[in-house]
Amino acid sequence: MKVKNRMTENPRTVSLDSSVTEAFSLMKENNIRRLPVVDKSKVIGIITISDLNQATPSMATTLSIHELNYLLAKTKIKDVLPKKQKLITIGPENYIETAAKLMRINKVSGLPVIDDQENLVGIITETDLFDAFIDILGVYRPHTRIDFYTSDRPGTIAGITGLIAEKGKNILNTVVFYDKKKSKYKMVIRIEELDCQDVVEALKDRGHEVESVIITHPE
């Protein structure tokens, strides 16, 4: 799955001369927490709700509401944009796992999406990645989840999927990862059918260590 399939296209933006008040309004109206900052049509940074809150006087201020609103209207994005901010972007043709890795490494929760002409075409956030993860795993559909440990041998996965096909069952998705605690590979399979006891028994007969079987009925 690529970034372009999950990003928000034509995101709201602010300029360096936009006011903090304007940025707050855009975030509230669009239920978002960050805005790309553009200068001469090019993205030069990103401003977050945390940045704006830090620029706002504390509740202990002696300013009146009128004075506070005036101050925020006069304060520009260029005044509150982090000075040493490292702008991290991604292209629309990159895969979502690349976006997740970039966010994790750089400890950011959103990335402007820039095309080959350096134009802003979207923004992808941690919420977009969570939604993609949920869709990929198919957890909103009724299914049976089987967690089990398996060996690291060529053809193992093919043998398991073939076994499930022989039982007339449909696989929604499968994930394999290395469990460091047990020093074994763990496989998680979600099957569309809810009665999968025959699959469980067949896995055990082939020497796989079945850890759990969970039947899910999403509301």
Report whether pLDDT(19) > 80.
yes
Tell me how far apart the alpha carbons of residues 169 and 195 are, in angstroms, rounded to a whole number.
9
User: Which among 21, 14, 28 has a CA at the least distance from the CA of 75?
Assistant: 21
Identify which has the larger pLDDT, 101 or 181.
101
Residue 110: which pLDDT band, with cuts at 50, 70 and 90? very high
Residue 155 has what pLDDT? 87
Q: Are 120 and 113 contacting, i.e. CB atoms less than 8 angstroms apart? A: yes
Q: What is the three-class DSSP state of 64? A: coil
Residue 130 has what pLDDT? 92
Tell me how far apart the alpha carbons of residues 110 and 146 are, in angstroms, rounded to a whole number.
33
Residue 85 has what pLDDT? 83
Of the listed ranges 89-93, 143-147, 151-155, 168-172, the least confidently predicted one is 151-155
Give the mean pLDDT of 142-160: 90
Residue 68 has what pLDDT? 67
Residue 59: which pLDDT band, with cuts at 50, 70 and 90? very low
Question: What is the share, in percent, of the chain residues with pLDDT greater than 90?
Answer: 61
User: Which among 83, 74, 77, 71 has a CA at the least distance from the CA of 17?
Assistant: 77
Amino acid at 118: E
> What does pTM read for this prediction?
0.74
